[in-house]
Amino acid sequence: MIEILNSIKTDSISKINEIDSLHELDQLKSFLLGKKSPLMDVLKDIPKIPVEERPIIGKQANQLKQDLTHRINEKRDELISKERDIFLNQDQTDTSLPTSGLPKGTYHPITTVTKLVCSILNRYGYAIKQGPNIETDFNNFEALNIAPNHPARDMHDTFYLKNKMVLRTHTSPVQIRTMLDQEPPIKMIAPGKVYRCDADVSHSPVFHQVEGLYVNENVTFADLKGTLESFLRELFGNDHDIRFRSSYFPFTEPSVEVDVSYTINGKTTWLEIMGAGMVQRNVFRHVSYDPDRYTGFAFGLGIERIAMILYEIDNIRLFYENDNRFLNQF
């Protein structure tokens, strides 16, 4: 039996050394170590040999099995390395070169309009400020003179979180953070996402705003109106009419809403795009500004509404459906 094992070992090593492909090696492994291999026949015949020889033969057979497995694995590593070297020597591609032929992406229309709005206002001297999406009740409501019983605080309008935290319903909290952090004069805008429980063809539960604030001595409503008219003419050109309507916001007094004429499918209508007004005196008191010394104006505009006018889009939900037929037009 020992002579048979030695013969199997010599023959197997010779066959392993002759192999020159991974496919042939897999076939040889099955032949040498499979259920019908000569080695397995020896293991099956161990019960037939004398009892005193069984431990010796069994140990030698198992040792041979381990040895052949090790040699096959070494041969596999050798063949893999050889095939890799052949591939690298044959392939003349310079992998350091940039790729070509890939489609180029473009800005989403929301991003494009946000950048456009910010670039115009930035040229007007407005610094760009950022703030968190999750805000405190104080920054989002209380500091903005929004009373506890105000409809804006209702559950159907606001996404409430734990510990008096909310998903911000506007970017006005960034204005509060800025005023708490620095003294006037302040001239800033706050672009970003906002969240409200609202959804139809012209409203989305997640949308984008740019809100602006200017605080200094002797700021008047004429400054507000002149700034907005100049900004909107630069944004839309002279093809759209602009109108100011008296309105109410708890954080500004007096307050206005601004509409822009909007033509879609041959029909012209008005689309509200922003609210604005003179900063309410109580807001200044919440940030420790002297309301007798400082005045200011604030405004907030919806990016989606502006994009709908610029691109003549009739459904705000198109911006969020990720439909390439829509996005490829920009």
Q: Look at residue 264 and tell me whether its pLDDT is greater than 80.
A: no
The mean pLDDT of 178-192, rounded to a whole number, is 95
3-state secondary structure 183-216: CCCEEEEEEEEEECCCCECCECCEEEEEEEEEEE
Would 6 be classed as within a structural domain?
Answer: yes
Residue at a domain's end among 90, 123, 153: 90
Residue at a domain's end among 30, 57, 90: 90
pLDDT computed for residue 152 by the predictor: 67
Q: 168 with 269, same domain? A: yes
Which domain range does residue 294 map to? 109-327
Q: Look at residue 1 and tell me whether its pLDDT is greater than 80.
A: no
- Contact between 60 and 2 under an 8 Å Cβ cutoff? The reply is yes
Q: 45 with 157, same domain? A: no
Q: 272 with 129, same domain? A: yes
Q: 80 with 164, same domain? A: no
Task: Report pLDDT digits (tens) over 35-86.
Answer: 788 878 777 777 877 887 778 877 888 888 888 888 888 888 988 888 888 7
Q: Look at residue 203 and tell me whether its pLDDT is greater than 80.
A: no
pLDDT computed for residue 197 by the predictor: 78
Backbone angles phi, psi at 309, to 5 degrees: -75, -50
Task: Report pLDDT digits (tens) over 217-227.
Answer: 999 999 999 99
**Number of domain units in the chain:** 2
Backbone angles phi, psi at 150, to 5 degrees: -70, 140
CATH number of the domain bearing residue 187: 3.30.930.10
Q: How far is residue 237's CA from residue 90's CA, in Å, rounded to a whole number?
A: 60
Torsion of CA 177, 183, 184, 190, to 10 degrees: -20
Q: Look at residue 189 and tell me whether its pLDDT is greater than 90.
A: yes
The mean pLDDT of 131-144, rounded to a whole number, is 93
Structure tokens given for 87: 């591939």
User: What is the model's pTM?
Assistant: 0.65
Would 215 be classed as within a structural domain?
Answer: yes
Q: What angle is formed at CA 295 by the lines to CA 291 and CA 300, rounded to 5 degrees?
A: 120
- More confident: 154 or 144: 144
Query: 172: pLDDT confidence band, cut at 50, 70 and 90?
Result: very high
Q: How far is residue 99's CA from residue 273's CA, in Å, rounded to a whole number?
A: 43
